[in-house]
Structure 1
Amino acid sequence: MAEHPVSGSAVTGAAAAGPALDARLVVDRAGFRLDLELTAAPGEVVALLGPNGAGKTTALRALAGLAPLGGGRLALDGTVLEDPAAGVHTPAEDRPVGVVFQDYLLFPHLSALDNVAFGLRCQGLSRRAARAAAEPWLERMGLAEHASARPGRLSGGQAQRVALARALAVRPRLLLLDEPLAALDARTRLEVRAQLRRHLAEFEAVAVLVTHDPLDAMVLADRLVVVEDGREVQQGPPAEIARRPRTDYIARLVGLNLYQGTADGHRVRLADGPVVVAADELTGPAFVAFPPSAVTLHRERPESSARNVWRVRVAGLDRHGDQLRADLSGELPLAADLTPAAAAELGLAPGTEVWAAVKAAQTHAYPA
């Protein structure tokens, strides 16, 4: 199934009534503090994106009730689940929350059907009633024929869908997904990502996804919240985050060269001296960015119309898909993408000095 964006109508309509999730998560650990505000409308999928140790999983555990808040407040559908100042703490088992863990945590001794029925049994249903309620969820996931199979006989993609069915069967008001595709191989990941996108598009409550993979975040989420060092550094629709990153981490994630300086018209003077000419006209603090594919390399100073030309040195070469990515140091450190044939023709190797050129039309500036 093709991956596609959600129409957004459900999110927009629900947003007018106020957020379904309204939280400020404050969690203190040794040498680390998470302080994150997080809101979401019914039907909205929010992805928490950030480097290792940023606090994403801590935030997910706090939402689930597995990491008590040291401050802040957590409300879901207008009901306060946790407020340390008021002495309110709803135990994890009493929260209307479904969780899909990175390794799925399916019970190995139970069939797929009984795994899905487990949460329903915990809600007080009889074994027969829970299994009857679980069957439609396996059918929705395309796993009806695997109802009697134990997890050890399921593929990675099938196990992921059983875990998702188990989480959705209890009809949670908040669905938490912790790296739900990380355990899958590349081919299975592509298929399951498309299926997960469809199921999330049909989910009427709030979903919060934690991932390291920018493609998972871009495809699955309506909105990204980028977390670094326990705090939000940027949030917005995926396309906006990709187009206008505001930290080096995000720029690397979406594959852009990013710099910060002061704009005066089309010229942005960077803090360490070089000037970058951009297509956009600005005044004041600014970011300036361009993709590695916009960089051309030359052994002699180019006579082309490129407004940006810098003397650089090859610091490293790495395979990047069907191209090579050159890590360049010098007047302006940057990354450039080129074909193996072009690299051979230029005689590129670590230490080789070249000229890097970027057209102003391919360079974009925006307010810092």
Structure 2
Amino acid sequence: MRNDGSVGVSGFGERDGGADAAGAPWLSVEATVIERGFAVSMRLAPGEVVAVLGPNGAGKSTLLSVIAGLVHPDSGRVRAGDRVLLDTATGTDVPVARRKVGLLAQDSLLFGSLSAAENVEFGPRSQGMGRQESAETARRWLAEVGAADLAARKPRKLSGGQAQRVAIARALAAGPEVLLLDEPMGSLDVAVAAQVRSMLRRVLHDRAAATGGRSAAIIVTHDLVDALTLADRIVVLDNGSVVDDGPVERVLRSPRSPFAADLAGTNMVSGHAVDAVDAASESAGTGAAGHGGGWIRRRRPERVRTGRVRPDGAAAARQGSRTPAVEGDAPSTPAAIRTVSEAQVEGGTLHRLAAGEPAVAVFSPRAVAVYRTAPHGSPRNVFPVRVTAVEARGDAIRVRASDGAGIPLMAEMTTTAARELGIAAGDEAVFVVKASEVRVYPG
């Protein structure tokens, strides 16, 4: 937990605008590409992982191409560590093969005629490393990404997730000082992407530690989970320029651009991991401080039935609003966090979380059921809230609220359900979320 109360989601270190404690960035980029309307300046601290997000055509691919040397800007300067890779003012332009920049696309692009091990050996060999040392490097990186048993297979014998693991090993085996990942999970199904994402988080963390911070990584993605799981910081591009830049939670909590505002349509509650689910909390719920100890049931609760809108425009009522989990249907283990107000939020995780470790719980507004009064039974996650706004979002209604500790939360329902409930700003309500709808990530 940072001093300002925010949480660095990836845990790779606390950064401030891409500078380390001494104020020196590891990677700095300033570039203008007039034809593409691109003018960007950004810095990454040693060991930092930055997620770059933005709508199509925002300039994300141009940014990666400038750093990799595939696009030559009209003006600019790119520096990695103590090496200047590009400086249009002096005519410096280091060739692609000598930049020590690794680029990984969403398609693995492995050499079909080579085995997995030979694919990974390619980078070290092309840099002049001997055959035996290259083979050892390949074995080490295949083991790092959990693909040691795939060494002899040709790409056509690999699944999508296996091929992407090998591609990650190939990119890292070349010893890049800057790693660029362009939608690395984009071609994978949800469950496989979750597994590769978890592996990549560990590898990036270990790599930063092993190099003493003499590395940095940029991940271009459309997936909020990539940013939550992997990044220290989010940079949002739009129309070829930076429109938002900050710690992951700050960008999601206080977006400064329309794209980031839309991206922020996900509930995220910060806290610290707890060892095990506290059974006593199941009936008390996870309300703000002062709301524990169970509910006094005065009358039958008025439950809002959230729902999707069918193609014919009619609202299809549903109980509990089952939505796809953030990580899909990948296997997960029970997890819980305790917030600053001592509320407990339960869900599932794909990560190893130690008690006391900063963590965040994430769930969709569509997964939130809204009540006027406390529901019967013992739902896991219950938030007594006060409604702050009711907004129309196309065919749906979004209810914004905050709990007793000031944590902002959102629920989404059909217009019919909202009309039945008759809820308005200033009303008290109860938000309920099933544990199966919540995913817990390291903070």
TM-score, normalization: structure 1? 0.71
The answer to which structure has the higher strand fraction is: 1
The answer to which structure has the higher helix fraction is: 1
Contact 2:12 2:232 in 1 (8 A): no
Tell me whether 1:203 sits opposite 2:207 in the alignment. Answer: yes
For 2:43, the equivalent position in structure 1 comes to: 39
For 2:250, the equivalent position in structure 1 comes to: 240
RMSD over aligned Cα atoms = 3.4
Pick aligned residue for 1:114 from 98, 115, 118:
118
Q: How does 1:322-361 map to 2 (within 5 A)?
A: 326=397, 337-338=411-412, 357-359=424-426
For 1:66, the equivalent position in structure 2 comes to: 70
String of CA shifts for 1:102-132, please: whole Å, max 9, x gaps. Answer: 1121111110000000111111234343223
Shift of 1:214: 1.4
For 1:5, the equivalent position in structure 2 comes to: 10
Shift of 1:345: 5.6
For 1:316, the equivalent position in structure 2 comes to: 395
Output the amino acid matched with 1:238: V
Q: Distance in 2 between matches of 1:210 and 1:140?
A: 22
Q: Say how many residue pairs are matched.
A: 296
String of CA shifts for 1:177-213, please: whole Å, max 9, x gaps. Answer: 0100111101111111111111111122111111111
Distance 1:308 1:177, change over 3 A: closer
Tell me whether 1:54 sits opposite 2:64 in the alignment. Answer: no
Secondary structure at 1:61 match in 2: helix
Pick aligned residue for 1:178 from 177, 182, 188:
182
For 2:30, the equivalent position in structure 1 comes to: 24
For 2:224, the equivalent position in structure 1 comes to: 214
Contact 2:29 2:76 in 1 (8 A): yes
Q: How does 1:264-279 map to 2 (within 5 A)?
A: none
String of CA shifts for 1:37-95, please: whole Å, max 9, x gaps. Answer: 11111110011111110000110011000011211211111221111121111111110
Secondary structure at 2:243 match in 1: strand
Output the amino acid matched with 1:207: A
Secondary structure at 1:195 match in 2: helix
Q: Distance in 2 between matches of 1:345 and 1:69?
A: 53
Q: Distance in 1 between matches of 2:425 and 2:77?
A: 48
Query: Unmatched 5+ residue regions in structure 2?
Result: 1-8, 209-214, 268-363, 373-384, 400-409, 430-443
Secondary structure at 2:57 match in 1: coil
String of CA shifts for 1:240-299, please: whole Å, max 9, x gaps. Answer: 111101122111112079xxxxxxxxxxxxxxxxxxxxxxxxxxxxxxxxx96799799x
Contact 1:135 1:144 in 2 (8 A): yes
Q: Distance in 2 between matches of 1:177 and 1:130?
A: 23
Output the amino acid matched with 1:180: P
Output the amino acid matched with 2:425: V
Pick aligned residue for 1:190 from 188, 194, 216:
194
For 1:323, the equivalent position in structure 2 comes to: none
Q: Distance in 2 between matches of 1:306 and 1:130?
A: 61
Distance 1:51 1:295, change over 3 A: farther
Q: Distance in 1 between matches of 2:392 and 2:178?
A: 50
Secondary structure at 1:142 match in 2: coil
Shift of 1:221: 0.4
Pick aligned residue for 2:139 from 135, 142, 165:
135
Q: Distance in 2 between matches of 1:185 and 1:71?
A: 39
Output the amino acid matched with 2:34: D
Pick aligned residue for 1:249 from 259, 263, 266:
259
For 1:273, the equivalent position in structure 2 comes to: none
TM-score, normalization: structure 2? 0.60
Shift of 1:337: 3.8
Q: Distance in 2 between matches of 1:361 and 1:233?
A: 36
Pick aligned residue for 2:235 from 215, 225, 242:
225
Tell me whether 1:105 sits opposite 2:115 in the alignment. Answer: no
Q: Distance in 2 between matches of 1:85 and 1:113?
A: 41
For 2:148, the equivalent position in structure 1 comes to: 144
Q: Distance in 1 between matches of 2:15 and 2:262?
A: 32
Contact 2:10 2:228 in 1 (8 A): no
String of CA shifts for 1:277-324, please: whole Å, max 9, x gaps. Answer: xxxxxxxxxxxxxx96799799xxxxxx978677x878425xxxxxxx
Shift of 1:238: 0.5
For 2:299, the equivalent position in structure 1 comes to: none
